[in-house]
Chain A
Amino acid sequence: DTAVSQTPKYLVTQMGNDKSIKCEQNLGHDTMYWYKQDSKKFLKIMFSYNNKELIINETVPNRFSPKSPDKAHLNLHINSLELGDSAVYFCASSQVRGPYGYTFGSGTRLTVV
C-alpha cells in the first residue's frame, strides 16, 4: 500500500504546454505539500494545504496552481511550461496533531524540452 502516491513518475513535455501532477495520500493526514527539487538537489517548499485550505504559497510563478479537492488529494497544475520548470516535484503529507512525520511521495521528474 503506497502511503503517498504521485502520478506520473516521469513527464516529458514541450515548452508552452500545460500539465498536471496528481498526488494522493491514504494516511489520513490533514496537511499536504508540494516541494520542488532543482538540478542541484535543493528542496524548496512551494505550497501547503491544511484541510483543503491553502496555508503556504511561496514565491512561485502564478503559472503554478495547486488544487486540493479533499484532504487526501493535492494536485499541481502548471501552465505555459518553461525550460526552468524542469525539476523533480515531490508531494508530501503530515498530520498537524499527532505523529511528527512527513511522508514523501516518490517524486515526479518533469523535463521541459
Chain B
Amino acid sequence: AQKITQTQPGMFVQEKEAVTLDCTYDTSDQSYGLFWYKQPSSGEMIFLIYQGSYDEQNATEGRYSLNFQKARKSANLVISASQLGDSAMYFCAMREGLRGSARQLTFGSGTQLTVLP
C-alpha cells in the first residue's frame, strides 16, 4: 500500500487565490512527522512546512499552512494568496517513528501546481 498518496497530479489556481493540495498517509506508528517540499523547475527541493503527529496545532509558515486531520490521516497543504512563483511541483512526505531515529522520508507522487496570472 502507498504510504503517501497525493491524488492531484496537477492543479491550477488563479493568482492571489488560495489553493489546497491534498495528501493522505498510511502508517501504524504513533510517532511520525509530515513534511511538504516544493520543487520548482530549477530542480532543488525546498522545505516548506512540518507537522509532528503529536502537535495539536496545525503548522503554519507564512503563506503556508498544514491542515492536519489525524483521524482521517490527511495532511493537506494550504497556500494562501498564490503567487506566480508558487508554480512548482509539491511533494508530501512522511518520516515514521520517533524523531530521534535515523529514518528516511517517504514521498508522495507530487502535485504540479500552476498559478495563472
**Residues in A lying within 8 Å of B, measured CB to CB:** 30-31, 33, 40-45, 48, 50, 55-56, 88, 90, 92, 94, 96-97, 100-104, 106-107, 109
Assess whether A104 is in contact with B45, with CB atoms less than 8 Å apart: yes
| Chain B residues within 8 Å of A107, by CB | 43-45
In the bound complex, how far is the Cα of B72 from the Cα of A20, in angstroms?
A: 43
Stretch at the interface among B17-25, B75-83, B103-111: B103-111
Assess whether A96 is in contact with B44, with CB atoms less than 8 Å apart: no
In the bound complex, how far is the Cα of B110 from the Cα of A21, in angstroms?
A: 25
Residue in A closest to B91 when the chains form the complex, CB atoms: A43
| Chain B residues within 8 Å of A43, by CB | 91, 107
Using known A-B contacts A42-B109, A100-B52, determine if residue A55 contacts B45 with beta carbons closer than 8 Å: no
Assess whether B102 is in contact with A55, with CB atoms less than 8 Å apart: yes
Assess whether B50 is in contact with A101, with CB atoms less than 8 Å apart: yes
| Chain B residues within 8 Å of A56, by CB | 104
| Chain A residues within 8 Å of B44, by CB | 104, 106-107
Interchain Cβ contacts under 8 Å between A and B, 25 examples: A31-B102, A33-B104, A41-B39, A41-B109, A42-B107, A43-B91, A43-B107, A45-B104, A45-B106, A50-B102, A55-B102, A56-B104, A88-B43, A92-B105, A96-B100, A96-B102, A100-B50, A100-B52, A101-B47, A101-B50, A102-B95, A103-B47, A104-B45, A107-B44, A109-B43
**Residues in B lying within 8 Å of A, measured CB to CB:** 33, 35, 37, 39, 43-45, 47, 50, 52, 89, 91, 95, 99-102, 104-107, 109-110
| Chain B residues within 8 Å of A48, by CB | 102, 104
Assess whether A106 is in contact with B43, with CB atoms less than 8 Å apart: yes
Residue in A closest to B100 when the chains form the complex, CB atoms: A97
In the bound complex, how far is the Cα of B103 from the Cα of A45, in angstroms?
A: 10
In the bound complex, how far is the Cα of B52 from the Cα of A33, in angstroms?
A: 21
In the bound complex, how far is the Cα of B47 from the Cα of A23, in angstroms?
A: 19
